[in-house]
Amino acid sequence: MEVQSLSPEIIQDIPKSSIQSIPAADIQATFGSSSIDLISKPLGSYILSFSDEWFAEASNLTTPIAPVRKPGVFTYAGAWYDGWETRRHNPEPFDWVVFRLGAASGKVRGVEIDTAFFDGNHAPEIAVEGCFSDDDDAVKEKGFGGWETILDRQECGPSQRQAWLLSSETAATYTHVRLCMFPDGGIARFRLYGTAVPVFPQSVDEVFDLAATINGGVAVRCSDQHFGTKDNLLLPGRGVNMGDGWETKRTRGEHVDWVIVRLGAPGEVEKIIIDTAHFRGNFPQKVQAFGGRFDKDPEPDARE
């Protein structure tokens, strides 16, 4: 596939998207019922290349758990940080990391940047770019010219978590994204919120997972997710531990917990798999599944 090379002049002429800054307290409410993290490690995303990672590895950016601090701990390169940190005095305009999405491709709705514990060495500004390509070798090169702007330059601030909501989901579909950090510094976590655009089997007789995140499934709401999030239910493979699943808080009376999943596409259900791996003493006694066709995400008591 040939990817059009965009000159700096063309990139500057791309209209800037109207965006909304989302504080940390509202990130879950804004993206939790409509989007997935397209670069989540459990989805199978991976890093193709980066400009520098002298102080802390770029792979930390997509760690699914919150960043932690280890004051007084040092490595050969310097103080230990749970994130991506590049060396000082970058001679280039920005440092960067190139990611391959976990899904086949996706459309972007928002971006989250967390500079937790980076204070004085945090990234001053970031931007996010995307491309659609089936050539990883070309995309990972420093001089690749096929990037287009998803999120214009935004200020980060020291040790804070924030997000930006695009005015609408991108019309373009992306396979790769590049996180740009101006000019250098540190970022703890990077999340890319959007919807997966899967490649479905050509045969209508082939059986596949309609609910899987990589096939466009989204857990839109649930009764509770005190110990483990609803989104874990739809990840590929089996959970790695008890924390890698959906777990609600204990209840003392008659109660039924529930989760509503929007499938990646309408389909006929042949079988349902419930996996309680690693849940011992806290697994559900019974489960029940219902299906329906709705024009919008239904309420828990909705009927067709």
Report pTM.
Answer: 0.84
pLDDT reported for residue 269: 93
Q: Which CATH class is domain 8-196?
A: mainly beta
User: 36 has which bridge partners?
Assistant: 194
**pLDDT, position 10:** 40
208-279 has the same fold as 8-196:
yes
**Cα–Cα nearest to 25, from 167, 221, 184, 160:** 160
- Tell which CATH classification among 1.10.1200.10, 1.20.120.10, 2.60.120.260, 3.30.200.20 matches the domain 208-279: 2.60.120.260
- The ranges of the chain with pLDDT < 50 are 1-17
Alpha helix positions (H), the chain: 8-13, 27-31, 136-139
Dihedral (CA of 256, 232, 260, 207) sign? negative
Question: What is the residue extent of each domain of the chain?
Answer: 8-196, 208-279
- Contacts with 169 (C-beta within 8 Å, 6 or more apart), sequence order: 107, 108, 109, 194, 195
Q: Nearest Cα to 258, choosing from 214, 216, 302, 294?
A: 302
| Cα(55)–Cα(108) distance, integer angstroms | 29
Q: Three-state SS for 13?
A: helix
Q: What pLDDT is stored for residue 159 in this prediction?
A: 98
Of residues 213, 250, 216, 209, the one with CA closest to residue 230: 213
Greatest Cα-to-Cα distance within the chain, rounded to the nearest angstrom: 64
- The pLDDT score that the predictor gives to residue 299 is 84
SS3 89: coil
Cα–Cα distance for residue pair 217/195, rounded to 1 Å: 9
The pLDDT, as a whole number, for residue 301 is 78
> What pLDDT does 8 receive?
41
State residue 253's pLDDT score: 83
